[in-house]
Amino acid sequence: MKSRSIYRANPDHAAATAMARGERGHWVMAALYPSSASAKTIARRVPIAEMMPAYEPVGAYEAYAAHHAEGTALWVRYVAGDEPVPVLPDRMSVRIRHDGDGPGYSGSGVITVTVSTRCPQCGGPRGFDTVIPHRFHHDGDFFVVDRWANRCGHVDMYDAVLAESREVLLPLVPAPVPLPSPPADDSPAGLILAAAKRSRGMHAQQAARLLDVRGHGKDAERIRAELRSRNGHMSAKQAADLLHSLSSPVVEGGVQ
């Protein structure tokens, strides 16, 4: 009898986040779910740490769900910090060897195809950023194709890549939810409002954690102090309004 996956049986998100923090910017498989709907729901929760304390503070992690040979895998990476991390594109175009569709390898040569950047076996990122040219000799001529190395260790065979590229209706894997980029208003209040727009129901405590990540510790403490006075009843938008009011200059005769 086939044994159950340890990921499916008991997802250990604390261990996954610890591994991701140790390899900032690199994707790690956090869990494996039998249901794609479950995996996609968790992937949406990870960036905003909604009911997922292992992924706090808000915005510290990205996530996506992708097909796995045993179900649907949840892939996450740690992105908090000053240095930007490379974006994972949806597709990659590569040159591969094609030995023709007819008898006797008629039409043998090189063709360029476009495929997903997710490994078809485990859903992990393919080596789209490791592509290098490879020159080979065939029937008296030299050709150049592309080679790449997948971080997950699975090897792509040209025949399988060609078959994948011909699936015109191949669905795109949802792109990972990125760390919210600084809006035009990059003030602490502006950062909170941008995050709250992406996550309905965002709490002031999450807003404070976001400011900690962005280096606004003093404003985060102001929000926490107000939270204590309100017995924890405060939304992220109210936290932003608080910071706006505290930053507004006061002039004689009233508020400017």
- Note the pTM of the prediction, 2 decimals: 0.62
**Pairing between β-strand 250-251 and β-strand 254-255 as defined by DSSP bridges:** antiparallel
Average pLDDT, the chain: 82
Please tell me what DSSP assigns to residue 178: P
pLDDT score for 233: 83
* pLDDT per residue as tens digits for the range 105-149: 555 678 899 999 999 999 999 999 999 999 988 777 888 999 999
Given a cut of 90, whether residue 62 has pLDDT beyond it is yes
Choose among 137, 156, 138, 160: nearest CA to 147: 156
Our CA angle for 119, 59, 64, nearest 5°, is 20
Q: Which two tokens stand for residue 82?
A: 């000053």
pLDDT score for 247: 72
Q: pLDDT band for 253, please (50, 70, 90 cuts).
A: very low
Query: Residue 256, class by beta-carbon neighbours within 10 Å (0-12 exposed, 13-18 middle, 19+ buried)?
Result: exposed
* pLDDT per residue as tens digits for the range 1-46: 344 444 455 789 999 999 999 999 999 999 999 999 999 999 999 9
User: Distance (Å, rounded) from C-alpha 18 to C-alpha 28?
Assistant: 10
User: Distance (Å, rounded) from C-alpha 126 to C-alpha 213?
Assistant: 29
For the stretch 174-188, what's the b/e string if a residue is b when 16 or more beta carbons lie within 10 angstroms of its beta carbon? eebbebbeeeeeebb
* Rounded average pLDDT over 201-218: 84
Using an 8 Å Cβ cutoff, are 171 and 199 in contact?
Answer: no
Q: Is 223 strand, coil or helix?
A: helix
One-letter amino acid at 168 equals: V
196 to 38, 156, 202: CA distances (angstroms): 23, 41, 6
User: Distance (Å, rounded) from C-alpha 212 to C-alpha 146?
Assistant: 43
